Chains A and B, each alone.
Chain A
Amino acid sequence: MSAQETQIRSDQDETLLSVDNLSVEFAVSDGRIQALRDVSLSIESGETLGIAGESGSGKSTLAYAIVRYLDNNAHVPEGSIEFKGRDLLEMLPAELRSVRGKQIAHVAQNASRALNPSMRIGKQIRETIELHQDVSGEEAQNRVHEVLDQVNIPDPLEVAKRYPNELSGGQQQRALIATGLACDPDLLILDEPTTGLDVTTQAKLLDLIEELKGESDAGILLITHNLSAIAQIADRVNILYAGEMMEKGPVDEVFTEPANPYTQALLATTPEIDSQKDLRAIPGQIPELGSIPDGCIFADRCAFVTEECRSGQIDMESPTPGHQTRCQRWETAVEDPIKSGTKTARTSSPGDVILEADDVHKHYDEGGFVQNLVRDHKPVQAVQGVNLQIREGETVGLVGESGCGKSTLGRTFLRLHDPTSGSIKYRGTDIASLSKSEMKEFRSECQIIFQDPDASLNPRKTVKRIIARPMEMFTDLDEDERNARVDELLDQVNLSGDLKTKFPHALSGGQQQRVAIARAFAANPSLVVLDEPVSSLDVSVQASILNLLDDLRDEYNTSYLLISHDMGVIENICDRLAVMYLGNVIEEGPLTEVFTPPYHPYTRSLLSSIPSLDPHEDDTRIRLEGDVPSARDPPSGCSFHTRCPQKIGDVCETDEPKLETVEQTSNGQQTHCIACHLDDPEMSKPLDEPAENL
């Protein structure tokens, strides 16, 4: 192509990056994995393209393919990646290096690992600047401070001198983005920028990305599993499933009128706050990419599938210009879309108190004898005086950001560790004083399910042994009876009996969690603690697990203590809710009461930090300043006063507010309590009240 032609081409076509018919394969010991197949996308300058996909969709592979950073066993059989008219796949290494970091910046996920731990933040940013730009000395240093300022890091001069481990998770992510922005790239690739961050931090980070969009005309490729992040930020969205593009189009259109069954199902299965959404689970699981079946890759899980979907090549079709879907039956799908149902409110009539926390404190890392002798060693005060009751047949949610002490409290409830002070009472008796046989009864009555299903099953035991073990311990069933019960349980958690002889690693994450659930229910417990039961699962699997837990609760009349950071999950399943901040319960009450005014200022900001799936929703969210203070040295008075947008004065710093009843239900049993110095009208302002009026 002559220089003139290039000129013409770039005038006509603003396309910054265009990926055409890209396929990526990985050679593995028993064949090959076709991670990406026939993927095309394009981004223009100044545009933000969101790539949505669950794990195994190949979205990160796509990001690495664009910067040509694939593992040695990867192979690109076909396709092209044109960046500003040049094919990246044809570039020589030196050319590629001059593009990387300068024109295309890749911001990896998991910032805490992606930053060099032994190099100061400033130096890591400066390195990129000095590599690609002809600046040095003070000028380079100024540029470092400039980009740190650009990503809203307070006190850039100070932060530039710090090492990564001295920053909070949110700040590390910002610093990594700053590294990417250092040379004013034409294309910024953000790979899962919000994963692993708390909702309030996540909300601020999304604000930042939106701000960056306005400031520069760089194209942004936002890769995430988080659909609401895309709804908030992206202009266009591409939906990736099992290595294929399922749907592409403007965010407005795709989110409001999805023309692909997968997109529809994905939206119907994503929990949302305050929408009474009855989650629709997607049956089945993402296929293995070793051998790709003929026809549509989603056919096995699709509600609209017909015989013709299972053969031939499925091409992209266009419902409207600029909107494409890989589905032959999109018209049917659009006419009668998959929608989530409306949840019927659960009526629970709580019985006696099963477990009760009475002024429970739990401190960690209290220091050795010498440490305490030599200086004032401060323990981590994970739980600071919590009172909470769980009654028969009710589901209590425990919500808060990471480090608030919710998991510690959950484990203290089951006496996985002893409280530092205070007591846990099981049906009225302190569990510390239970006799051996009473303790055994307590153990059989109270079970726990953990976040990471892969780790919660002993890898060296078969499914059958795992599920049968509680029966051996707590029941008189003989072996045949136990076998029969294992079959029954597997059936109840919708697993095939063939899995009995399998080891956990042969199961998918969702299946593993079902086995963990079956184990928890094996001895007919009256209470199950659910510690983030779905947060490590893909959304499409999450819904089916939540629905299963819902069904089992009705069947066994079990109480749950559901620990979660995800308000959507909490809302879906809980009757009552306790909100924790820095070891304290700051609000407690029936779900509907907590979700409506009056609010504790922290609950208010939590609720308003949750991004919505609706791209049109007005953004009136409240942003919390700073990070959660250290639990070694919690603030005086109200522990939230350092970040509270509604702080009223000195009283917040000196006096610790008590949980006080703000509302009472008719039967007098369920009350709504808030620990805050504010008066009722202040707390009762609606959620969408602009922040400056608070």
Chain B
Amino acid sequence: MSTEDTTTVGSFQLPSIVPRLLSNRKILVGLTVLLPIIVITALGESITPYDPLQTHVADKYAAPGGQYLLGTDNLGRDILSRLITGGQSSLLLGFGATAVSMSAGVPIGLSAGYLKGRVDEVLMRLMDIMMSVPVLLLGILILVALSSNIVNVILAIGIVYVPRIARVTRSATLAVSEEPYVMAAKARGESTSHILFKEIMPNVMAPIVVEGSIRVGYAIMIGTSLSFLGLGAGPPHADWGYMIATARLHIYQTPWFLLWPSLALLVTIMAINILGDGLRDVLDPRAMEGEL
């Protein structure tokens, strides 16, 4: 049809990309919700109304409103303060684990997609095998073997999602590596690393960024689930998952104790997903849904 847009989608150039991103409603909504959450949790203890660890024995099970904005828990600790500091580890976990997956998954995907043949076969079979263990179980397995501290949790979740990043990168690379401009670089005698990182990588960033952004949400989900099971970072890094686990034991006395961290978790993950969706619409409109 004659309305074809000649600009290449799927690749982007700064700075023209910024207004294009900001004109997307989903990205705007996602950022508007997410940025304050990040800022507040980053400020952490410097803005919490109470010390999140301090117990107020007289004020156990205090209802929301009043002195404690969101109420107190079974030990009389201020829930709002705990929510803010708990968010730190949840978010750190999400972004940290995604960074781990990307730093392993992107090079794996690039090499498999460009070098093809044996390398591709071996790497991708390995990824398939990793993916054959259900995500949460793989996380459990890794954390049963390693001790549960925040670094190991980040590592574990990062490893769990390496295959997904690698697969997305590989399929984007596979498409790009047959492009004439890569052929042209080969015909010029460019080195493999130049071709991988200078010619191919900038052109496969769009799907990787999209996948990565969605991964952050899933990583938070898995991370809080593990900590719900008692395999998380644990106290004093009481993240939202741990809070929900504790709250569940007191669910009938203090329902708000359960509601607040649930709400925080829902809103955060949702904002990330909406943002990721918006990024996909703008950067990589032909892509399908990511994998769980």
Contact = CB atoms under 8 A, between A and B. Distances in A.
A456 interface: yes
B3 interface: yes
A458 interface: yes
Contacts of B2: 26, 33, 35, 56-58, 60-61, 243, 289
Interface residues of A, number: 44
B184 A459 contact: no
A505 B202 CA distance: 15
A61 B1 contact: yes
A460 interface: yes
B1 A450 contact: no
A503 B13 contact: yes
Given A416-B186, A439-B189, A473-B188, A460 B1 contact: no
Contact of B180 (A444, A446, A451, A473): A451
A519 interface: yes
Interface in B179-195: 179-181, 183-190
A446 B187 contact: yes
Interface string B67-106: 0000000000000000000000000000000000000000
B37 to A, nearest CB: 31
B22 to A, nearest CB: 14
A447 B3 contact: no
B203 A519 contact: no
Interface in A22-78: 26, 28, 33, 35, 56-58, 60-61, 64, 71, 73
B121 interface: yes
Given A289-B2, A451-B180, A443 B188 contact: yes
Nearest to A36: B2
Nearest to A508: B6
A460 B11 contact: yes
A658 interface: no
A64 B183 contact: no
Contacts of B203: 458-460
Interface string A413-450: 01010000000000000000000000110011011101
A342 to B, nearest CB: 35
A437 B70 CA distance: 72
A97 interface: no
B281 to A, nearest CB: 14
B286 to A, nearest CB: 15
Identify whether the interface residues of A are mostly helix, strand, loop, or mixed. Answer: mixed
B4 to A, nearest CB: 9
B179 A469 contact: no
A65 to B, nearest CB: 11
B59 interface: no
A463 to B, nearest CB: 13
Contacts of A458: 181, 185, 199, 202-203
B117 to A, nearest CB: 9
Contact of A33 (B3, B181, B187): B3
A448 B181 CA distance: 10
A538 interface: no
Contacts of B13: 460, 503
Interface string A103-123: 000000000000000000000
Given A26-B2, A64-B1, A448 B7 contact: no
Contact of A450 (B11, B184, B189): B184
Nearest to B183: A416
A455 interface: yes
A411 interface: yes
B188 A450 contact: no
The DSSP consensus for interface residues of chain B is loop
B189 A440 contact: yes
B206 to A, nearest CB: 11
Given A368-B121, A450-B183, A71 B1 contact: yes
A102 to B, nearest CB: 25
A26 B180 CA distance: 32
Nearest to B7: A505
A358 interface: no
Contacts of A443: 187-189
Nearest to A27: B3
Interface string B7-21: 110010100000000
A127 interface: no
A450 B3 contact: no
A469 B121 CA distance: 33
B180 A450 contact: yes
A455 B7 contact: no
Contacts of A64: 1
Nearest to A458: B181
Contacts of A504: 8
B188 A416 contact: no
B180 A414 contact: no
A457 interface: yes
Interface string B153-188: 000000000000000000000000001110111111
Contacts of A235: none
Contacts of B185: 458
Interface centre among B2, B6, B180, B181 (most CB of A within 10 A): B2
A457 B188 CA distance: 13
A452 interface: yes
A470 interface: yes
A653 B41 CA distance: 79
A456 B180 contact: yes
Interface string A501-521: 001111000000000100100
A447 B187 contact: yes
Contacts of A73: 3
Nearest to B185: A458
A416 B187 contact: yes
Given A35-B3, A58-B2, A414-B187, A505 B180 contact: no
Nearest to B2: A35
A448 B1 contact: no
Contacts of A416: 183, 186-187
A257 to B, nearest CB: 30
A119 B6 CA distance: 33
Contact of A28 (B3, B8, B189, B199): B3
Contact of A473 (B184, B186, B189, B202): B189
Contacts of B3: 26, 28, 33, 35, 71, 73
12 contacts: A26-B2, A61-B2, A411-B183, A440-B189, A443-B187, A450-B184, A451-B180, A454-B8, A459-B8, A459-B203, A503-B13, A506-B7
Given A416-B187, A456-B181, A505-B7, 9 more contacts: A61-B2, A289-B2, A411-B183, A443-B189, A448-B187, A455-B181, A456-B179, A458-B203, A469-B188
Closest A-B pairs by Cβ, 10 of them: A443-B189, A456-B180, A450-B180, A460-B202, A26-B3, A505-B8, A35-B2, A458-B181, A459-B11, A448-B187
